[in-house]
């Protein structure tokens, strides 16, 4: 057994799959390697060429039952039995492959949330190989996912929703028993897990930015006349429409009263729909934009908008780390004293806007009048650089074996 060898089990790995998750998993592998670990990756097969560390590629055998299968999804939605946002669809696919692997060569398994299968595979491997240490990264807060839960309960038969939710809690409880080091998107999420599952082992914050892909971002030859430039880059999730509507109404009123600015939306989202009816004069939408080109817009904006549901205080929109990396001041419509507030406000990296229209307008008016308010200091973002974020995680992992 190699004391520094890790088997990393993920659904997405760069350059395949969901680009943000795939990129994050690749960056995590690099940080683990810098920390002195040998890392082998198990992920889904791809037509793209993977790095040499991807040793095991999985075939998706049950494609019909996948969330990606539109016919299956259409049928289930019609009868109000949709797939839960956490499903364990690929556990058998992973295990079929890994049962033919000499797992005893590894000291650690490192699992990252995709559809939930990865963590459950980690649990089953640890049950079989008692020497393994399980590192689990929660990039999505499972039962604390307010958005996913709301959508699921709004679109399901009540009995079905209650049953699935109960089963999900059981699965998460079993997972919490398996984990030796838990990585979470925010400290507040960690606190909820401690309280709800009586989890007593180590918990670490694992969000942050990396400059590794900076050369992949193309130069954008575009110019906007009215400064500052406010931008929303990315997707809006279920339940965010009302918040987006209020923000645009606030901008419309401020523009009418003489405030000068430009608002741009990058990506297919609710803002790209609002441009059809909005009275804003300086409002531009760019819908079909590849990921790295979308990041090039960050180099053009002065203020980046992030949205979080009011009841989702433990969530951090990872977009804020890309904003800070590109010297963009963040305005977040997010809960006061929530996870976003605890990062942005004390470090002067952004401000939290009220959900109430009248207050939001006052806050935006002050910000636009005092442009020096949205200058950020580089040294303030260094604690959120992934190379610094992972140092205590790597030390904790080494102490396990």
Give the residue with greater pLDDT, 65 vs 364.
364
Cα-flanking dihedrals φ and ψ of residue 315, to 5°?
A: -85, 145
Q: Is the pLDDT of residue 86 over 90?
A: no
pLDDT for 68 equals: 59
* pLDDT higher than 60, residue 353: yes
Average pLDDT over residues 309-317: 87
Does residue 3 register a pLDDT over 80? no
The overall average pLDDT reported for the chain is 91
Is the pLDDT score of 396 beyond 70?
yes
Q: Mean pLDDT over residues 341-356, rounded? A: 95
41-82, pLDDT tens digit by residue? Answer: 999 999 889 999 999 999 876 555 565 577 777 888 888 988
- Start-to-end CA distance of the chain, whole Å, equals 11
Location of structure tokens 């960690």: 190
Q: Cis link prior to 228 (omega < 30° from 0)?
A: yes
- In the chain, what are the domains? 5-208+385-400 (3.40.50.2000), 213-380 (3.40.50.2000)
The Cα–Cα gap between 95 and 218 comes to 40
* C-beta atoms surrounding 224 within 10 Å: 16
Q: Could you please report the per-residue DSSP string of 204-262?
A: EE---B-SGGGGGSPP-----SSSSEEEEES---TT-HHHHHHHHHHHHHHHHTT---E
Q: Under 8 Å CB-to-CB from 358, ≥6 apart: which residues?
A: none
Contacts of 206 (CB under 8 A, 6+ apart): 28, 137, 183, 184, 185, 389, 390, 393
**Which residues lie closer than 8 Å to 195 by C-beta, 6 or more apart?**
none
pLDDT band at 89 (very low <50, low <70, confident <90, very high): confident
Residues 6+ apart with CB under 8 A from 237: 147
Confidence tier at 370 by pLDDT (50, 70, 90): confident
**What span, in angstroms and rounded, lies between the C-alpha atoms of 329 and 103?**
46
Q: How many residues does the chain have?
A: 401
pLDDT of residue 373: 66
């Amino acid at each position: 057994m190699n004391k520094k060898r890790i088997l990393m089990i993920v659904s997405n790995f760069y350059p395949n799959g969901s680009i943000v998750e795939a990129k994050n998993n690749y960056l995590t592998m690099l940080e683990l390697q810098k920390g002195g670990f040998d890392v082998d990756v198990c992920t889904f097969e791809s037509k793209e060429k993977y790095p040499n560390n991807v040793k095991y590629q999985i075939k998706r055998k049950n494609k019909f039952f996948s969330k990606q299968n539109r016919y299956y999804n259409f049928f289930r939605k019609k009868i109000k039995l949709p797939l839960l946002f956490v499903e364990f669809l690929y556990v058998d696919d992973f295990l079929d492959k890994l049962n033919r692997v000499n797992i005893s060569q590894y000291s650690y398994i490192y699992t990252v949330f995709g559809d939930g299968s990865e963590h459950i595979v980690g649990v089953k491997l640890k049950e079989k190989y008692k020497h393994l240490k399980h590192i689990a990264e929660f990039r999505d807060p499972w039962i604390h996912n307010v958005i996913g839960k709301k959508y699921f309960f709004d679109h399901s038969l009540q009995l079905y929703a209650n049953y699935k939710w109960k089963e999900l809690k059981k699965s998460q409880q079993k997972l919490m028993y398996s984990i030796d080091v838990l990585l979470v998107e925010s400290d507040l999420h960690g606190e909820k897990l401690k309280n709800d599952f009586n989890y007593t082992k180590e918990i670490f914050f694992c969000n942050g930015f990396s400059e590794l892909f900076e050369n992949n971002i193309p130069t954008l030859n575009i110019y906007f006349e009215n400064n500052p430039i406010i931008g929303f880059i990315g997707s809006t999730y279920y339940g965010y429409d009302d918040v987006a509507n209020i923000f645009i109404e606030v901008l419309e009123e401020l523009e009418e009263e003489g405030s000068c600015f430009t608002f741009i939306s990058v990506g297919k989202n609710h803002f790209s729909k609002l441009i059809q009816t909005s009275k804003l004069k300086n409002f531009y939408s760019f819908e079909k934009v590849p990921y790295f080109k979308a990041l090039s817009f960050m180099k053009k904006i002065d203020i980046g908008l992030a949205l979080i549901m009011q009841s989702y205080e433990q969530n951090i929109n990872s977009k804020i780390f890309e904003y800070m990396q590109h010297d963009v001041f963040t305005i977040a419509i997010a809960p006061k004293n929530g996870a976003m507030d605890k990062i942005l406000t004390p470090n002067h990296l952004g401000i939290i806007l009220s959900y109430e229209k009248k207050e939001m307008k006052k806050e935006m008016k002050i910000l636009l009048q005092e442009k020096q308010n949205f200058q950020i200091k580089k040294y303030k973002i260094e604690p959120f650089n992934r190379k610094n974020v992972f140092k205590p995680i790597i030390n904790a992992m080494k102490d396990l074996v």
